[in-house]
Structure 1
Amino acid sequence: MLSDRDIAEGVTLRPIEEIAASLTIPAESLIHYGPNIAKVRSTLCRHLEKRPDGRLILVTAMSPTPAGEGKTTVVIGLAQAFRALGLNASACIRQPSLGPFFGSKGGATGGGHSQVIPSDDIALQFTGDDYAVIAGHNLISSVLDNHIHFGNKLGIDTANIFWRRVSPISDRALRRVVVSPGTVEERMDEFHISAASELMSTLCLVRDLDEFRARVGKILLALDKNGGPVTVDDLKITGAVTALMRSAIHPNLVQTNEGSPVFIHGGPFGNISLGCNSLIATSLALKVSDYVITEAGFSTELGAEKFFDIKCRAGGLKPDAVVIIATTRALRFHGHATDYLKKDTDALKKGLDNLGKHIENIRSFGVPFIVAVNRRPEDDDAEIDALASMIKAMGVEASIVDCFEKGGAGGVDCVERLVKKAGEGGALRFLYNTDEPVIEKIGAVALNMYGAEKVELCDDAKRDLSLIERLGYDALPVCIAKTPRSLSDNPKLLGRPGPFTLKVKRIRPALGAGYLVVECGDILLMPGLPSSPRAELMDVDAEGRITGI
């Protein structure tokens, strides 16, 4: 089979105006970034508000292997399959992060015959949205320290500064740093990956620039010496931060290798942040498409739970169907195979416990679903067929998808099933009400999604909760940060772990995003690079062509 690079270079891209026109997006709503990339003005949503929404389909997965299970590839492939059947469809995905791109996981632009193109541009700087987030985020850090340096009129308690700096690159050396060393302002600080930035999540949960500005002003940065909140509004830089983000607010439009439209906007990670693309992009896609296929980071208990309980709640979205991706390698991995890349029927069967839990998770939200067995070129046909039969024996509808090798044609069976599922009329149920006590909201997710027996707050988390309750921030949804390797907060507990305790280390208000970040286990907000990062394989020739991706 041809490489991803060869497939992409063999595609003749359509002008982006044609892609937009296929969705009835007028040319005057486009902001061009070359012939094949454009932003769509976010104000178009306002002009289309009376138009009915299309059907919304979420793609999620069982617990993954370290390499991931191909959600983006399937989303792209299904969008192509809808179009192949003559149905007006578009996809909505997140912008890739440079951390995994230069690390070990790659560019998150799909693969094989289901890619978004131009993939190099998308995976690297793209339209600069991530850099706008980084600049806005670090502007806040700079002005905060500058304010302290010039007299600290707000009386900021330097022992209670919550706002951390961000970087787009995974860098473990930045997990703990000294700010202003050798001065009276010296203190310990840390960097987080930009995909975990509160500005990134805020971007993904607003409807327009005005709402973004209002939310940014509310972001909690620190406490003053009387224990009161210090916000971005207090520093008088809400306007400056919004100015840096005024172009980033517009969603990006590109195309697949088969010419299907794809919106790419926002890039929060699913394990340590929201894990969904922007509400603006999804809302716009629903106004110009009959079917919208989107994804949420990692698996059902992470990205999908946040999609339902945070994004759908914030945006009033009503999902019509869900696809749960299962792969032979993920089932072997969670079936404790010695080598999950090799055929192992016993491990495959044991891994069904993990898939079964993810099926239960989606059932609890009340949205119709199917399981898609995602076939890869190295898969054994007999094993794939056996897996599909095992899933059907569980009383669950299953479809084999092969979007990697066959593009849209490899997702037609799945799409035909999804059209029927989306018409069944399910009604989304949230796991909790936001006015419930914080510990009960955490428990609702931990017990129902993870299979935990109980939740335990460490001393820091107890102090955090007391502060949250004192300041009146306790009526927000919870965004739990934990490992994606396991249903639990321990990455070593594969499959479907037995009774365990979810250990909460910190609870942090993210008032701009509109939720509470609940950090569990040994989760890191700044990843590190592997021993042999993918960056070592990359180069650029004299024509600017990137190799080694």
Structure 2
Amino acid sequence: MTKIINVLNGLNIKNEDYEFYGPDIVKIDYSKYQNIKNKGKLILLTSINPKPSGEGKTTTAIGLTDGLNLIGKKAILALREPSLGPVFGAKGTATGGGESEVFPVDKINLHFTGDIHAITAANNLISSVIDNEIYWGNKKNIDLNRIVWQRCLDLNDRALRKVELEIKKNIKRKESFNITAASNMMTILCLSKNTYDLQERLENTIVAYDIHGKELLIKDFEVVGSVMVLIQNVIKPNLVLTKYNSPSLIHLGPFANIAIGTNSMISTNLALKLGDYAIVESGFGSDLGFEKFMNVINFDNDLIPDCVIMVVTIASLRMHDDFTNNFIHLEQHLKHIELYNLNLIVALNVMKGDTKEEFDLITNWLNKNNYIWEQNEAYEKGPEGAKKLANRVVEVTKNKKQVKWLINNNDTIEQKIQKIAKNFYYLDEVTFSDNSIKKIKELAKSKYSNLPICMVKEHSKIDGNTQNIKNYKLNIRNMELNSGGRFILAYTNSVFSMPGLGKDANYKYINLINNKVKGLK
């Protein structure tokens, strides 16, 4: 508690503007600090397509923050909150590792400050109100086949992908659950700039259509006030410390393969206001998290990265490149950053099992192709292991660059999808299902036609071709509007918004022994 108070004092956050949630977590009233004129430098971490256990972006982000503070800079970390789905599933925890961690690990990865539970409750309250309206006579003439607001749960539960609800005798409807991290409520909160923006987004979120095709909004169901009560504290960022006492804002957590993949705009902007450097992570590889950061998040925000760090492990390169093919996979990801003319550093996340021969091959290739790179050893050496990377970030961010944009506001919905597919997935052709074509035509005639596209794509392959199909073409099977989040979802191939558990999932190894949580990894 004393350490956190000292850090808060160092950030000039007043005592009355934060509240403790136990001895090692606080929530901050961000509203008092929104008008600070300072804007620090934004450092965005991304990666190549990661291994099933991840690529070490979080570990690198934590280590870099510690390293920057070690060399006398004022750095603040901003991360997503972990979802219980991956914690008990395959990916595991999201708090770093080794000497590069945020604490308390067990609280952050489990219930934390209750944010995700509150989001789940608020989301499902809206669903229950919609079905309650149908139960009591359906005076709003809700079309039971056009209810677009879905229930959610913060667990991997594939059995809930498709269910049938019995609202009353002889009245049934189909329902699909999302994982909470992919829910509309999560993305609306994440993209909201303040409480007023949040309420406006909620009020104008489409949840269903009536039998005449008219939009039905959340405000039409008189539930916005109750939702705001449930999430009144969720919008406040959570602050914890790294192992080496760097301030870390951990707030909200949309997935990057089925949502936008970064922490809240409020926590990112707070970090930029209070620090000289804000370190932010985008989810999965640059084909997902980075692409959405530039094309979706920056549609309505001014968050152009001063530097992008591409996190790479030799172990992951073995999965994609055979070390004799000129690192084509890595080069494809690096080109994503170059598209936007941004400062770029490759961070080699050193791990046990890496050989000197492999290290020399990759570093020689990076040098040959004039890429700036640095070794990151924060996992084993803490801030000292990230010192070189931190110094390189300070050096590189002195370069001022003019950002280039891939997507134009006057591009059609199809053009936006095709640009992303060509420049990020390296595909020349995209196919559209009849259902997606119908929805694109409807959206093109609506006031939502200029919104950005959020691609829903499998994360382990850059093109989404996980089955190695010959003459593969990306298929857009469905389109959905998130009017509160202010983007359009394009579902590709067979990706689901409710994950399932693997055969040998992490839940088998988690236990409570002598009142200590064991097995989180």
Q: What TM bracket, shorter-length normalisation?
A: over 0.9
Q: Is the 8 A contact 2:166 2:173 kept in 1?
A: yes
Q: Name the residue aligned to 2:8.
A: 20
Q: Is the 8 A contact 2:465 2:472 kept in 1?
A: no
Query: What are the superposed Cα offsets for residues 153-181 of structure 1, whole Å, 9 maximum, x if unpaired?
Result: 11110011111110101011111111017
Q: Name the residue aligned to 1:210.
A: 196
Q: Name the residue aligned to 1:537.
A: 509
- CA RMSD, 1 decimal: 1.6
TM-score (structure 2 length as normaliser): 0.97
Amino acid aligned to 1:355: L
Match status 1:361 vs 2:336: yes
Query: What are the superposed Cα offsets for residues 134-160 of structure 1, whole Å, 9 maximum, x if unpaired?
Result: 011100110000001111111110011
Amino acid aligned to 2:504: S
Moved more, 501-510 or 180-189: 180-189
Q: Is the 8 A contact 1:456 1:503 kept in 2?
A: yes
* CA drift at 1:218: 1.3
Out of 411, 414, 418, the position equivalent to 1:436 is 411
Match status 1:221 vs 2:222: no
Q: Name the residue aligned to 1:483.
A: 458
* CA drift at 1:391: 1.7
Out of 367, 371, 387, the position equivalent to 1:412 is 387
Q: Name the residue aligned to 2:495.
A: 523
Q: Is the 8 A contact 2:135 2:167 kept in 1?
A: no
Of all paired residues, the percent bearing the same amino acid is 34
Cα separation, 2, equivalents of 1:258 and 1:53: 24
The alignment partner of 1:508 has SS state of: strand
* CA drift at 1:221: 1.1
Amino acid aligned to 1:249: I
Residue correspondence of structure 1 range 5-404 to structure 2 within 5 A: 15-46=3-34, 49-180=35-166, 183-335=169-321, 347-350=322-325, 352-404=327-379
* CA drift at 1:498: 9.7
The alignment partner of 1:348 has SS state of: coil
The alignment partner of 2:490 has SS state of: strand
* CA drift at 1:469: 2.5
Cα separation, 2, equivalents of 1:454 and 1:107: 37
Cα separation, 2, equivalents of 1:215 and 1:178: 29
Q: Is the 8 A contact 2:326 2:365 kept in 1?
A: no
Rate the CA distance shift 1:443–1:45 in 2: closer, same or farther, 3 A.
farther
Query: What are the superposed Cα offsets for residues 384-429 of structure 1, whole Å, 9 maximum, x if unpaired?
Result: 2332222222221111111111111111111111112111112233
Unaligned ranges ≥5, structure 1 = 1-12, 336-346
* CA drift at 1:182: 7.1
Query: What are the superposed Cα offsets for residues 193-243 of structure 1, whole Å, 9 maximum, x if unpaired?
Result: 100011111111111011001001111111111011111011111121121
* CA drift at 1:330: 1.2
Cα separation, 1, equivalents of 2:333 and 2:508: 36
* CA drift at 1:184: 2.3
Q: Is the 8 A contact 2:299 2:452 kept in 1?
A: no
Q: Is the 8 A contact 1:162 1:221 kept in 2?
A: yes
Out of 498, 512, 532, the position equivalent to 2:484 is 512
Q: Name the residue aligned to 1:343.
A: none
Q: Is the 8 A contact 2:3 2:245 kept in 1?
A: no
Q: Is the 8 A contact 1:65 1:330 kept in 2?
A: yes
Cα separation, 2, equivalents of 1:530 and 1:297: 20
* CA drift at 1:500: 4.7
Amino acid aligned to 2:22: G
Cα separation, 2, equivalents of 1:27 and 1:369: 38
Out of 490, 493, 502, the position equivalent to 2:474 is 502
Q: Name the residue aligned to 1:454.
A: 429
Cα separation, 2, equivalents of 1:450 and 1:406: 36
Q: Is the 8 A contact 2:131 2:167 kept in 1?
A: no
Q: Is the 8 A contact 1:328 1:348 kept in 2?
A: no
Amino acid aligned to 2:358: E
Q: Name the residue aligned to 1:548.
A: 519
Amino acid aligned to 2:145: A
* CA drift at 1:474: 1.0
Q: Is the 8 A contact 2:475 2:493 kept in 1?
A: yes
Cα separation, 2, equivalents of 1:367 and 1:330: 24
* CA drift at 1:14: 5.0
Moved more, 381-390 or 503-512: 381-390
TM-score (structure 1 length as normaliser): 0.92
Query: What are the superposed Cα offsets for residues 521-546 of structure 1, whole Å, 9 maximum, x if unpaired?
Result: 1111111111122111111134x211
Query: What are the superposed Cα offsets for residues 356-397 of structure 1, whole Å, 9 maximum, x if unpaired?
Result: 001111000111101111111332244223322222222211
Q: Is the 8 A contact 1:195 1:268 kept in 2?
A: yes
Rate the CA distance shift 1:500–1:363 in 2: closer, same or farther, 3 A.
farther
Q: Name the residue aligned to 2:446.
A: 471
Cα separation, 2, equivalents of 1:512 and 1:247: 19
Cα separation, 2, equivalents of 1:160 and 1:212: 24
Q: Is the 8 A contact 1:56 1:318 kept in 2?
A: yes
Q: Is the 8 A contact 2:38 2:274 kept in 1?
A: no
Amino acid aligned to 2:499: P
The alignment partner of 2:59 has SS state of: helix
Rate the CA distance shift 1:257–1:349 in 2: closer, same or farther, 3 A.
farther
Cα separation, 1, equivalents of 2:419 and 2:275: 34
Cα separation, 1, equivalents of 2:403 and 2:471: 28
